Chains A and B, each alone.
Chain A
Amino acid sequence: MTTLTMAKALNEALRQSLDTDPKVLLMGEDIGKLGGVFRITDGLQKDFGEERVIDTPLAESGIVGTAIGLALRGYRPVVEIQFDGFVFPAYDQIVTQLAKMHARALGKVKMPVTIRIPYAGGIGAVEHHSESPETLFAHIPGLKVVSPSNPQDAYWMLRQAIDCDDPVIFFEPKRRYWDKGEVDTEAIPGPLHKARVTRAGTDLTLAAYGPMVKVCMEAAAAAAKEGRSLEVVDLRSLSPMDFDTIQASVEKTRRLVIVHEAPVFLGTGAEIAARITERCFYHLEAPVLRVGGFHAPYPPARLEEEYLPGLDRVLDAVDRALAY
């Protein structure tokens, strides 16, 4: 057990995967000497060579398209997209090719490609550097979509994603890169797609993933001071999603607030609200509420604190849900 930042935990996961399986390759822009703009691949090219840690041309469709070809040849490419908003030039390859290859070949080929995307806001970046496009990928059959919220999950979920024979879109909450936590690289990890109750409570369930888990934990701590017992569920995986864990929590607390940075409209929260309403109709004491981004482009950095769900907006939704 050691204490690592999420960035270091991810770096360690990549290192262990490269070390364990000679078919694992890293590909991306600036991931070699620079170690990636967030240094997630720091030192890996030095230790594993340019043949396995590949600096690519600045061409996202090319990165993913060639990764598909490498996967067809038996490799396990781990691709880094530099920022969330830069994934769209590769979106065609991901959606029309990567996601469907296994099905089109009637199961005869596998697509063990992991696409790492630093995502979401809160770091004062310029346009296209703070977006949360996860729903666009979770909507696509054939893709798996996960997002860790802490260093321990970052380590194990990335290792599990790389081991997975399906394409996994791995969303890294960039503003949590520098958060520290205990990482046990010897532990036997739980299932990649299982949600986790990160704080037990009885009055209301907060469901979140990635960067918003920390905000929800803080909200639960603040609410506790007012005598309210909030349960926090870290979804961890968006596709598939562990509705059983959410359901069990809601059957206990009878209220659900979903928090994510992505725009609320047609978002992950909408899916959870619909399914939980279906599963828990007679348990619910209040409508399922959502807190998230607006139906507007991600704003300039000086406004992002207003745009992003923070403690106050989460607690406001908690108040509304408890008022029923």
Chain B
Amino acid sequence: MSVKSTAARRTTRGGAKRRGGEPELVQLLTPEGKRVEHSEYSIDLTPDELRGLYRDMVLTRRFDAEAITLQRQGELGLWASLLGQEAAQIGSGRATRPDDYVFPTYREHGVAWTRDVDPLNLLGMFRGVNHGGWDPNENNFHLYTIVIGSQTLHATGYAMGVAKDGADSAVIAYFGDGASSQGDVAEAFTFAAVYNAPVVFFCQNNQWAISEPTEKQSRVPIYQRSAGFGFPGVRVDGNDVLAVLAVTKAALERARTGQGPMLVEAFTYRMGAHTTTDDPTRYRADEEREQWELKDPILRLKTYLEAEGFADEEYYASIDKESDALAKRVRDGVRTMPNPDTMAIFENVYADGHALVDEERAQFAEYLASFADETEGH
């Protein structure tokens, strides 16, 4: 996989230009699945690599669909679907190196997939068995963060540490269009710029922050916001996995070669509800979704694969089979996911212990044990 970019030399300009009032998207694959070139970002992938991206997106979509079903069946308390954002997540996730560090929000199931995080790990917090539940350092994939935008500061601090260590890794912080309004994101931009931190801010602008459209978050295109902080921003077609991959790779490369932060706005669309408790029919028109369906990231790549003769029926059948197997593994895994032990309430509150926690743990254990005594007594 090779990526050529001149973005590094155009640090102050940013990548996108205005045309007809709307910023131009970096695009390498049109909604019709036609391969196009871009003056600043290009990418050259083997058929195998292209099929890999397709597989990632299909399996991620299937995992997501399964999670929605599991929520409807009462197996999960809540689910935040990524439907429609597969290209933004797979493209950016596949742009990272193993030694890079990813700070997700709570919808980055596709990014987690690219980091080899077991999909079942993602379901624990939605099932209510933990508040995170995985070791962030195992795959350099931080815990999901629910308070909007908080993790952009953690990513920036981590990136400051990377720079201090003299490492050539980069950090990527995910957030949404709604989070871009948060003070923490502005402070993260400030710190990243001031300390030239090797961090890429990756905003998935999926057009809706629950019921509020992007116009309620920003009066300028989000990618332009970085200019005021002194680093470049670029808007990429978030439904074009090739463009997202190329742009994110260039941004990460820029970061790891000491050229500082960059903002990538992946212009995409949340096809489903914000979460399973949300009802998008109350605030957005069906026609809007229908328009975006025409830009579906998976169909787009499939059209291209077929046009180039890179995949045949047998290949698609094998992906379907793999999807079914993944879905079954997820289903079975969730249903057999054990409830945490009651005493887990008191675990890991502190690393070095705490007298009050010890006292309350002992008291509660004694209280619980008193019921066992009663049973024995009868």
Contacts and interface: CB of A to CB of B under 8 A. Distances in A.
Interface in A76-117: 89, 92-93, 96-97, 100-111
Contacts of B159: 69
B100 to A, nearest CB: 13
B280 interface: no
Nearest to A55: B194
Interface residues on A, range: 35 or more
Contact of A62 (B131, B188, B350, B352): B188
Given A56-B191, A93-B184, A239-B356, A105 B158 contact: no
A57 B354 contact: no
B354 A144 contact: yes
B362 to A, nearest CB: 14
Q: Interface of chain B, helix or strand or loop or mixed?
A: helix
Contacts of B153: 61-62, 64-66, 68-69, 93
Contacts of B156: 62, 65-66, 69
Contact of B350 (A56, A64, A67, A102): A102
Contacts of A124: none
Interface string A218-230: 0000000000000
A65 to B, nearest CB: 3
Contacts of B154: 65-66, 68-69, 72, 97
B220 interface: no
A70 B197 CA distance: 12
Contact of A142 (B134, B145, B184, B350): B350
Contact of B157 (A67, A92, A103, A109): A67
A166 B352 contact: yes
A181 interface: no
Interface in B130-187: 130-138, 142-143, 145, 147, 150, 152-162, 164-165, 183-184, 187
B208 to A, nearest CB: 24
A295 interface: no
B349 interface: yes
Interface string B95-139: 000000000000000000000000000000000001111111110
B348 interface: yes
A285 interface: no
B166 to A, nearest CB: 11
A193 B133 contact: no
B30 interface: no
- Of the listed residues B153, B354, B355, the one surrounded by the most CB atoms of chain A closer than 10 A to its CB is B153
A107 B354 CA distance: 14
Interface string A137-157: 000011010000000000000
Interface residues of B, number: 44
A166 B74 CA distance: 37
Q: Which of A56, A65, A71 has the most CB of B within 10 A?
A: A65
B137 A70 contact: no
B351 interface: yes
Given A66-B156, A72-B136, A93-B184, A110 B356 contact: no
B69 interface: no
B355 A240 contact: yes
B347 interface: yes
A92 B147 contact: yes
B190 interface: yes
A109 B150 CA distance: 17
B191 A107 contact: no
A38 interface: no
Given A61-B153, A65-B188, A105 B356 contact: no
Contacts of A110: 351
A72 B134 CA distance: 14
Interface in B307-351: 347-351
A242 interface: yes
A193 B184 contact: no
A48 interface: no
Nearest to B344: A106
Contacts of B188: 62, 65-66
A239 B354 contact: yes
A166 B355 CA distance: 14
Nearest to B173: A69
A241 B356 contact: yes
A34 interface: no
A57 B147 contact: no
Interface of B: 130-138, 142-143, 145, 147, 150, 152-162, 164-165, 183-184, 187-188, 190-191, 194, 347-352, 354-357
15 contacts: A59-B187, A62-B187, A62-B191, A65-B156, A66-B160, A70-B160, A73-B165, A93-B150, A97-B150, A104-B130, A106-B132, A106-B133, A107-B348, A108-B137, A141-B357
Interface of A: 51, 56-57, 59, 61-62, 64-75, 89, 92-93, 96-97, 100-111, 141-142, 144, 164-166, 193, 239-242
Which 6 residue pairs are nearest across A and B when measured between Cβ atoms? A69-B157, A65-B153, A73-B161, A66-B157, A62-B187, A104-B132
